Structure formats: structure tokens, C-alpha cells
Homo-oligomer: A and B are copies of this chain.
Amino acid sequence: MHFADRLTDVVLRMKAPCVINLDPVFEKLPDAFTAAGRATPPPAARLQSIEAFAAGVIEAIAGIIPAVKINSAYFEIYGADGVASYHRLLKTARDAGLLTIGDVKRGDVGHTAEMYAAAHLSDSALPDPDTLAMPDAVTVSGYFGLDGVAPFIDVARREERGVFVLVRTSNKSAAAIQDVATADGRKVHEVVAAQVARWAADANTAGHHGYSSIGAVVATRNADDAARLRKAMPQSIFLVPGYGAQGGRAEDFLSYFDADGKGAIIAAGRSVIFAHADASLRARCGDDWSACVRTACEDFVADIRRAARL
């Protein structure tokens, strides 16, 4: 079934336009995962702890959140073993009933883009489908133009998957490039947004909710920009980072949603997965790290639910 419809259906059913980022680093894991052994375990042992922890997070949040986003970088740092772990966790998440987004942010052109699209979105590149999975959608850079994104769109259409095109990133120094004024009075990221809108219209993949499987990553904290981008890309579901540890509050995300509370999913990461480090959560949930994760996730969903008026 159509990715944007699958995502929107579950968002509406759970009243939760939300996604949890799995960006785990060994040093921040709960004691139960770091205490097993020496002060500095070898990389293979660290990766094993990270994978066990991430699987625990998936178990804790399944049923209260529609989707997880797994950040490839945090696994690539473990080389080939990390890549295997990334695809195993995608399988774990899928088996737990979650939609999955692979945060790979690949950006290249021509035949190389075709290779990346197959490598990161197509089941055809999966060595062992019994233990590994591809994500339901991936993040892709939009700054190289259509032929950087077209191969991902092709796979998405063929295998009912989704693509989130990077339009505006959240970092401070992004403005020096992405917010530069163009001769026709736009900002550079609006040029990319207009392209994404055209790709989504041309791909003609709008589902029954009116949204295409070609979404956008939009991370501006500027409410005017956000509202302009919402209008500029009417068919795209926005993947919006920045909640919680990155400083965003629910009211900052109001302008990302359409009038029905659809069209955006807000991402939270560290504030949920490392909830055990939050003293006020521990006071409510005790020393059970997974209870803290679940509670933090429930708080996050409730907060965003209000903002989206769902």
C-alpha cells in the first residue's frame, strides 16, 4: 500500500504525528548496557550493546508511536558490522509493527544515485530478508536536482516506499547557503521546495489523503518560512526534526500541519531514547530505563497531538 497513505492512516489512528529517532551512542546508554564489562569495550561489544538497547527502545515504544527513524551514521561508524546492525534493527522495528525511515541523507547524481537508491530503499539489495529489512522510506538530499532524487522516486513507486527530500536543515550555518536571497525574491531553500513540489506533482503519486510519497525534511525554526513551505509543497508530508533535546516545543510546529492535523510528522530523539538520564522522568518511572522511554514517548505524543489538534 501507498507509503503516504500507510503513514497518514496510522498517524490518524494513533493521533500521533510523531516519529522517534534512533541515534544511539554507546556512552549515553543506560548502565545496564554499558556496565557489562570493561570501561572501554571493543567496538564489536559496543555495537552489540547499542543494538540491544535500540531493540529495547523499539519494544518500549511500539504501539504508541507510528514510526521510527534510524540514523545510518550511528551505525556506519562501526563499519560493515554496523551496516548489518542497521538493517537488522529495521527488521526488528518492522516486525514490531512500526513504519521505518532510514535516515541516510544520500545525495549524488546519475548512475551513482541509482546505486544509492537500490542500496538503501530496494528489497533487491537485501542479502537476507529473513533477518534484515530495508526502510519504508529514506531521507535524500535535494540540492543536486531531479536526477539525484529520481532513482529514489522510481524505487519508491515500484516498491510502495517513500522519500523525504532535504529542503531546509536545522543547523545554524545552513542559513548562509539555504536562506540566501535569490534574484526573484525567494530563499534558496524555497527553490528546492518548488522543485520538490514539481517532482511530487509529476510523479502523480498522491494517495487518498492527498499526500504524495515524496515528502520533505523541513527543519526551519522560522514560522513564516514554515508556513510558506507548507503552501509551496502541498502534496508533501514534512518530516520535522527539532523537538525536545534540540530545543523545539510543540507550539513551534503548528504551522507544519494542515487544517486536519495531517501533513507532518515531528521527530524526537535524545529526549525520548535517553529518558533514563532525565531526573524528573526517573522520579516518575523509577530506575526502569524502558519505562522512562515509554513515558517520555507518551508525553511527546500527547504534546504534539495537542499542537496538531488531533
Q: Which residues of A contact B (CB under 8 A)?
A: 23, 43-44, 71, 73-74, 76-84, 87, 103, 105-113, 115-116, 118-120, 125-127, 132, 141-148, 166, 169-178, 180-185, 188, 191-192, 195
Docked-complex contact A115 and B145, CB < 8 angstroms? no
Contacts of A110 in B (CB 8 A): 170-171
Closest 3 CB pairs of A and B: A145-B173, A109-B171, A73-B115
Q: How far is it, in angstroms, between the C-alpha of A76 and the C-alpha of B171 when the chains are bound?
A: 27
Q: How far is it, in angstroms, between the C-alpha of A171 and the C-alpha of B111 when the chains are bound?
A: 11
Known: A109-B174, A171-B148. A73 touches B192 (CB 8 A): no
Contacts of A120 in B (CB 8 A): 76
CB distance from A57 to the nearest CB of B (A): 18
Docked-complex contact A192 and B177, CB < 8 angstroms? yes
Docked-complex contact A176 and B145, CB < 8 angstroms? yes
- Which among A23, A87, A107, A191 has the greatest number of chain B C-beta atoms within 10 A? A107
User: What secondary structure prevails in chain A residues at the interface with B?
Assistant: helix
CB distance from A232 to the nearest CB of B (A): 14
Contacts of A181 in B (CB 8 A): 182-184
Q: How far is it, in angstroms, between the C-alpha of A80 and the C-alpha of B44 when the chains are bound?
A: 14
CB distance from A112 to the nearest CB of B (A): 5
Contacts of A195 in B (CB 8 A): 176-177
Docked-complex contact A174 and B188, CB < 8 angstroms? no
Docked-complex contact A178 and B145, CB < 8 angstroms? yes
Docked-complex contact B76 and A115, CB < 8 angstroms? yes
CB distance from A169 to the nearest CB of B (A): 5
Which residue of chain B lies nearest to A47 when distances are taken between CB atoms in the complex? B127
Which residue of chain B lies nearest to A172 when distances are taken between CB atoms in the complex? B147
CB distance from A202 to the nearest CB of B (A): 12
Docked-complex contact B119 and A147, CB < 8 angstroms? no
Docked-complex contact B171 and A77, CB < 8 angstroms? no
Docked-complex contact A77 and B177, CB < 8 angstroms? no
Q: How far is it, in angstroms, between the C-alpha of A16 and the C-alpha of B135 when the chains are bound?
A: 43
Contacts of A119 in B (CB 8 A): 73, 76-77, 79, 82
Q: How far is it, in angstroms, between the C-alpha of A71 and the C-alpha of B113 when the chains are bound?
A: 11
Q: How far is it, in angstroms, between the C-alpha of A192 and the C-alpha of B77 when the chains are bound?
A: 27
Contacts of A172 in B (CB 8 A): 145, 147
Of B127, B171, B173, which contacts A79 at CB under 8 A?
A: B127
Known: A141-B143, A143-B143, A145-B174. A116 touches B76 (CB 8 A): yes
Which residue of chain B lies nearest to A132 when distances are taken between CB atoms in the complex? B79
Which residue of chain B lies nearest to A170 when distances are taken between CB atoms in the complex? B109
Contacts of A71 in B (CB 8 A): 112, 115
Known: A81-B80, A105-B108, A112-B71. A147 touches B173 (CB 8 A): yes
CB distance from A75 to the nearest CB of B (A): 9
